[in-house]
Amino acid sequence: MRVYFDNAATTPLDPDVMKEMYKVMESQFGNPSSIHAHGREARTLIERSRKTIAGLLHTSPAEIFFTSSGTEADNTAIRCGIIDHKITHAITSPTEHHAVLHTLEAMEKSGVIKLSLVNIDSKGVIDYDHLETLLKENERSFVSLMHANNEIGTLSDMERIGDLCETYNAIYHCDTVQTMGHYQHDLSKLKAHFLVCAAHKLHGPKGVGFLHINHKIKIKPFIYGGAQERNMRGGTENIYGIVGLAKSLELAYSEMEQHQNHIQGLKSYMMEQLIAHVPGVSFNGETDAEKSLYTVLNVSFPEMEMSDMLLFNLDIAGISASGGSACSSGSDIGSHVLTAIGASSSRPSVRFSFSKYNTKEEVDFVVAKVRELCAVNV
Ligand SMILES: Cc1ncc(COP(=O)(O)O)c(C=O)c1O
């Protein structure tokens, strides 16, 4: 048996998405920038996809810009949001994805901004009072705070951050890569200036995503070139990917509640089973269902011999998951997220992340293997 519990890294393509992409691959090869019939057909597919996405998210198609990835969308929002608006101070958290953290750190290193890190607690929850203090102290900040943490699943309160940013005239970028297609986002109500999606996290294809740019903010392109994406992103469009992205979001929305219940059920069941059968087990990050991404469970195992071999041993046992441990002092190898929440560097951690395709039998299989490994290694 081989089981896949690494859906926060990437998800398998939904067969219906594949079919939709395949249809386009078979019949469409035109360049959407060409004005002849082949080009126009390809352009129609892109604009139809944009309209589908905008409709699901309650926004205008004019606010959706296709990109090559979540990383590109994050970079565009951060670099252009800061440079084009002459921002000199940015706020983020120490648990952001590297697509955000490394971008901001590079900008700080080159002297463009001063970077402040908002305090977080031991579950990775933002200290909103500290955020307010930072916003108060700086005239117009750029705030980049993710919706759900990809390693520990802790959710932020987007409404609260949006209100604070509005009060203090800040620009708000939210990395929603882990939550697009997993929760309903009503962009007509959210106060974020920039939101991000990567199709491969919701059973869509790799190498395509989008940046939502609220009409209240204008930026210049990040990638210069042709007039694609209304002059905002040069480069011939990934038609198949874009069609697949729209289909994956459509499917995610059509069955969202059912999938949420199924996946949250699996996560709760795995927690119960681990607590019942693995002495000393605990969980990293927020576990309250209201405050935690239902697709992610980060498990902290008791100290064991050869703890750095745990993931490898799980892999050998037929389980694909990911993880690591907090960095031990003096080392920068390990998880920056677990280090930031103060997790012990001697306890191995494994992130199990779920999708609609996982089953209770697969969870039982994981728990049984984990029990064996823990019993051998104590
Ligand atoms: C929170 C978060 N942001 C950004 C990214 C980057 O997305 P992509 O893989 O499409 O570049 C990821 C991917 O793991 C992520 O989890």
Q: For 131-147, write each residue's pLDDT tens digit.
A: 999 999 999 999 999 99
- Which of 209, 236, 251 is where one domain is finished? 251
99: Cβ below 6 Å to ligand 1?
Answer: yes
Q: Give the atom of ligand 1 at the shortest distance from the alpha carbon of 96.
A: 1
Query: Are 272 and 228 in the same domain?
Result: no
Measuring CA to CA, which residue among 194, 210, 192, 207 is closest to residue 246? 210
CATH classification of the domain holding 365: 3.90.1150.10
Query: Are 333 and 225 in the same domain?
Result: no
Angle of helix 239-254 relative to helix 15-27, nearest 10 degrees, comes to 150
Going from the Cα of 77 to the center of ligand 1, the distance in angstroms, rounded, reads 14
CB atoms within 10 A of CB 236: 12
Query: Would you state the pLDDT for residue 328?
Result: 62
Residue 304 structural domain? 3-11+255-376
C-alpha distances in Å from residue 301, one per residue of 9, 314, 340, 356? 21, 13, 18, 26
97: Cβ below 6 Å to ligand 1?
Answer: yes
Amino acid at 284: N
Compute the distance between CA of residue 334 and CA of residue 325 in angstroms, rounded to an integer: 6
Query: Are 229 and 370 in the same domain?
Result: no
143 DSSP 8-state letter: E
Compute the distance between CA of residue 65 and CA of residue 326 in angstroms, rounded to an integer: 36
Query: Are 30 and 127 in the same domain?
Result: yes
Question: pLDDT band for position 306 (50/70/90)?
Answer: confident
Going from the Cα of 164 to the center of ligand 1, the distance in angstroms, rounded, reads 25
Amino acid at 332: D
Query: Are 65 and 128 in the same domain?
Result: yes
Q: Tell me the backbone φ, ψ of residue 263, rounded to 5 degrees.
A: -70, -45
Q: What is the mean pLDDT of residues 9-23?
A: 98
Query: Are 277 and 178 in the same domain?
Result: no
Query: Are 151 and 270 in the same domain?
Result: no
Catalytic residue among 165, 174, 197, 327: 327
Residue 342 tokens read as: 């103060």
Instruction: Say if pTM beats, i.e. exceeds, 0.85.
Output: yes
193: Cβ below 6 Å to ligand 1?
Answer: no
Query: Strand locations in 290-343, DSSP E?
Result: 296-300, 319-320, 322-324
Query: Are 103 and 59 in the same domain?
Result: yes
Q: Tell me the backbone φ, ψ of residue 126, rounded to 5 degrees.
A: -65, 140
Going from the Cα of 339 to the center of ligand 1, the distance in angstroms, rounded, reads 19
**Does the pLDDT value for residue 49 go beyond 90?**
yes
Structural domain total, the chain:
2
- Which of 251, 280, 298 is where one domain is finished? 251
Residue nearest to atom 13 of ligand 1 (CA): 9
Q: What is the mean pLDDT of residues 229-252?
A: 98
- Using DSSP, state whether 121 is helix, strand or coil: coil
Going from the Cα of 71 to the center of ligand 1, the distance in angstroms, rounded, reads 6
187: Cβ below 6 Å to ligand 1?
Answer: no
70: Cβ below 6 Å to ligand 1?
Answer: yes
327 tagged catalytic: yes
Query: Strand locations in 114-222, DSSP E?
Result: 114-117, 141-144, 171-174, 194-198, 209-213
Is residue 331 within 8 Å of residue 371, measured between CB atoms? no
Query: Are 77 and 106 in the same domain?
Result: yes
Residues near 133 by beta carbon (within 8 Å), at least 6 away in sequence: none
pLDDT digits (tens, 9 = 90+) for 324-369: 667 765 555 789 999 999 999 889 999 999 999 999 999 999 999 9
Q: Give the atom of ligand 1 at the shortest distance from the alpha carbon of 99.
A: 4
Residue nearest to atom 16 of ligand 1 (CA): 150
- Which of 223, 251, 279 is where one domain is finished? 251
Query: Are 129 and 197 in the same domain?
Result: yes
Residue 208: CA atoms inside 13 Å, Cβ hemisphere, count?
Answer: 26
Going from the Cα of 41 to the center of ligand 1, the distance in angstroms, rounded, reads 31
204: Cβ below 6 Å to ligand 1?
Answer: no
- Return the higher-pLDDT residue of 202 and 346: 202
CB atoms within 10 A of CB 295: 27
Query: Strand locations in 154-238, DSSP E?
Result: 171-174, 194-198, 209-213
Residue 192: CA atoms inside 13 Å, Cβ hemisphere, count?
Answer: 28
Query: Would you state the pLDDT for residue 287?
Result: 93
Query: Are 166 and 38 in the same domain?
Result: yes
pLDDT digits (tens, 9 = 90+) for 151-180: 999 999 999 999 999 999 999 999 999 999
Question: pLDDT band for position 193 (50/70/90)?
Answer: very high
Query: Would you state the pLDDT for residue 290?
Result: 94
146: Cβ below 6 Å to ligand 1?
Answer: yes
Query: Are 175 and 50 in the same domain?
Result: yes
Residue nearest to atom 14 of ligand 1 (CA): 9
175: Cβ below 6 Å to ligand 1?
Answer: yes
